[in-house]
Amino acid sequence: MLQTHVAFCLDESGSVAKIIKPLVEAYNQTVTDIRTSVLDEGQEASMTALAFGDRVLKHRTLYIGQQVQTVKPLVYTDLHPSGMTPLFDSVYRAIKKLEELDDGKSDTSFVVSVVTDGQENQSVDPGVPTTIKEIQKKTATDRWTFTFLVPNGSEEQFSRHFNIPRGNIQGWDTKTARGTKKAFVVSSAAYINFFKQKSAAGVGQTMSSRSFYSN
């Protein structure tokens, strides 16, 4: 059966406090949409969720490798908004956690999705350059996809500065509940399309995307 391991890196820096309720609700709905899509396509998926930004515990693991059918919804208190934005350090940790789930099959896919309301400003372990190299290495296998929800207007700069395919970057209105919900609706649609494409590719075929949101 076709397998995808999904990891979400959720920003819990201080600025997220103003949208914490719609953020958690929208994330939970996307997990539900992923669950429905995977079942519709006759596939399997696991979910991993990480949070980044806390001053004391910069990186927290909410859950790892849970089958999507068993994932429990997050509650508002699961995120602790404070501190800065060590975004790429979180991506690196997501990669390492998903590597532990790799069965080596060519048709096992990995998607790392980052949700941030700001800009990278505190990655030091292992830091941005090391993480970018790891992203490029994984992307080259055609089994890994990296996607980013970033503040409206920063998409082009983010793509150029970090060498991320523009089609895998989506801008969103980070200041309102409506904008937050809309961003995750787009994300859900992109995941549904990803699983449909994976079914079309079939067993034994690699699956990744450099136009995750463009499609």
State pLDDT tens for residues 91-138: 999 999 999 999 999 999 999 999 999 999 989 999 999 999 999 999
> Would residue 91 count as lying in a domain?
no
Q: What is the pLDDT of residue 54?
A: 77
> Would residue 53 count as lying in a domain?
yes
State pLDDT tens for residues 163-213: 999 999 999 999 999 999 999 999 999 999 999 999 999 999 999 999 999
CATH number for the domain spanning 55: value is 3.40.50.410
State pLDDT tens for residues 8-65: 999 999 999 999 999 999 999 999 999 999 999 999 999 999 999 977 668 999 999 9
> Would residue 44 count as lying in a domain?
yes
> Would residue 43 count as lying in a domain?
yes
Total domains, the chain: 1
184-187 long-range contacts, CB within 8 A, separation 24+: 184/26, 184/27, 184/29, 184/30, 185/26, 186/213, 187/30, 187/113, 187/147, 187/149
3-11/44-52 β-pairing:
parallel
> Would residue 188 count as lying in a domain?
yes
> Would residue 215 count as lying in a domain?
no
Q: What is the pLDDT of residue 112?
A: 98
Whole-model pTM: value is: 0.97
Q: Which domain holds residue 169?
A: 3-86+96-110+121-201
